[in-house]
Structure 1
């Protein structure tokens, strides 16, 4: 009897290139690595130069609206401390040159050059991407050995960071009780790498890992959004309850004399299911509209706010003809889906019924000039104007950029 040869094991380290940042076609990466195993890609971004400096990150961490943390490690006592921003600029020089890390969330919402990295990850649904977190670590700086419950791509932007990962089946996941952050009690790495600028490490959920700065360094973390089943169920049930008709109730017109007045029998449970099904929980369009609204708001740390003064649509359209551009608010997430009739656009928790062509175009566009706006149908232009009134776009004069 001839035995079939075992399939060749996929490598854990590959070489990337400008044409293939993953070191392979995206379909191969998704098949062999996505949510399955880590992958180190050397030169994923060849010749990469960080678009920001550590001083820029420190300045952002001083902003009231930025989400930032400062993590310090006392090596002698193996003690960890965490502080949350905003910070004062004069604090940073006194931190010393070792064993601290500054992390700032959502830097892609604040910096257009950081946001420009996101199209490199368009092999994934954009609505799955949470943010680009940027961390600066002084030599020896770390956040400890830990696990994440979401996929993450760790792009080295400046300096060098040592990454250790544990790829064993069923690694120990008990947490220390003496730290403010979730650190692993035990960590036994199976792989050890030093990443240089342009190298990138992909980690699926649940893989223990530990990163330590070899020298002062910047790391960009492209993290995914992965709502828990409890979050999904809770929001969906709340939405169903809020939108349900109070006249939909448990009914039993087929009731027969009870054999046992205290029993909840099988017929009663069947009627309970009928009452729940009356809410159309299995309606694809209702489910899709709920999810589209939910996912374009989920884990959003900021939101668009309507302008104090609104301008008429005629004025806006005239400005667009004169070279103004509508720029999407950086906190406004958009997505679209096909529906039983046409399509739906979702933007910051709102839903719009649109032709598929318009829904696709609006969801994809970070900005609309006059020509792109004119290319939309009447329904599409209605949606864009409504979103403008809600603060999801702002009008920018010619030559002034997206400030």
Structure 2
């Protein structure tokens, strides 16, 4: 039987945001094939304006860049924020792009869009980057090594991709950006508000603004093997017992005292193997801490909460909420005994149901708090003291 040819374009108006069940998308497209999804977000209206984005790019602590293209000389210019407020009104009318990372950490309406991707592990989502492009604006033909969903939020952008097997991936050496030396499009689409392009890792693509436009980029976190290994080795070294050393009790007289022979190398392997994490819980705890740390500088900071636990619980009973810090990523895993909750690079043993409830809740109200065990409530209080939650009183929540 001939293999069914999968479409590369689909209309999702009747089944947003994928136009198909999540199971079908993950089976047929995820990390396998690109997909243009028309009407992924039907009748979409951007919750952020270009002016709001420009204002955010002027704030300290916000990761922002401006990429400009001088077409006459094919010269690319890159500037890093924060930017002075007076810069944007003076920008040219074409051929530049503003990119702002982690907008979901700064804007609750943008963060709410992540619920549409609940079919993916939450800890795999890195951030929502938003770009504003003047007409002709682009960041050049490039390739990403992670999955990305590109949602057109405002205006129109033309996307070209090279979906052929083994496309050329050599980079230019005359620009600061990682741009491709050669790019030949196999597909060419014009996207309007609500349309979304899914790209698996390694697919060359090139987007150019047809008119002033906003594009939301939902990027997945996919650590390189070298990044995983580096952090893993650092953890092994930090926890290593000083008594674990290179040993050679079976040493025989050397044929050549200057040679590093095969027996010596075998002892090196044995010394390294002594450091391996053979305990699945230790390995899982390392990965949970690693993957819940954001790569950017933002982090929760202890705020010296002066209210006692009794006062906090009284506040919850009277309509207060505990709001998770936007930079605190959480996940959990089953352990030999119970579970472990991971929060911003820290691990906390806790019952399974507590770990599930805390990791799933961006906000905890009195009902959610009372549903936790005593250990779970202790943990929430500990996280609050560490700055991972903010207590919102009823009037503050309404504001």
Do the aligned partners of 2:304 and 2:385 also contact (CA within 8 Å) in 1? no
Correspondence list, 1:268-347, <5 A: 269-347=265-343
Equivalent of 2:36, from 33, 36, 40? 40
Q: CA deviation at 1:123?
A: 0.9
User: Deviation per CA, 1:162-186, whole angstroms, max 9, x where unpaired?
Assistant: 0000011111111122222111111
Could you tell me which residue of structure 1 aligns to residue 96 of structure 2?
Answer: 100
1:310-334 residue CA offsets vs partner (Å, 9 max, x unmatched):
4322222222122211100000000
> Is the 1:396–1:402 contact (alpha carbons within 8 Å) kept by the matching residues of 2?
no
Question: 1:19 offset after TM fit, Å?
Answer: 3.4
Select which of 242, 246, 250 maps to 2:246: 250
What number of residue pairs does the alignment pair up? Answer: 398
**1-side partners of 2:271 and 2:174: how far apart?**
49
In structure 2, C-alpha distance between the alignment counterparts of 1:282 and 1:402, rounded to whole Å: 50
After TM superposition, the score normalised by the length of structure 2 is 0.95
1:55-204 alignment to 2 at 5 Å? Answer: 55-204=51-200
Is 1:24 matched with 2:20? yes
Paired with 2:168 and 2:270, the residues of 1 have a C-alpha distance of: 45
User: For residues 184 and 297 of structure 2, what CA distance do their matches in structure 1 show?
Assistant: 35
Cα distance change on mapping 1:174 and 1:273 into 2, 3 Å: closer
Range that drifts further, 280-289 or 393-402: 393-402
**Distance (Å, rounded) in 2 between the aligned partners of 1:148 and 1:313:** 46
Contact 1:69 1:82 in 2 (8 A): yes
**Separation (CA, whole Å) in 1 of partners of 2:263 and 2:317:** 66
Unaligned runs of 5+ in 1: none
Contact 1:310-1:389 within 8 A present in 2 as well: no
Deviation at 1:276, TM superposition (A): 3.3
Kept in 1: contact 2:16–2:39 (CA 8 A): no
3-state SS, counterpart of residue 382 of structure 2: helix
CA RMSD of aligned residues (A): 1.7
Is 1:223–2:219 an aligned residue pair? Answer: yes
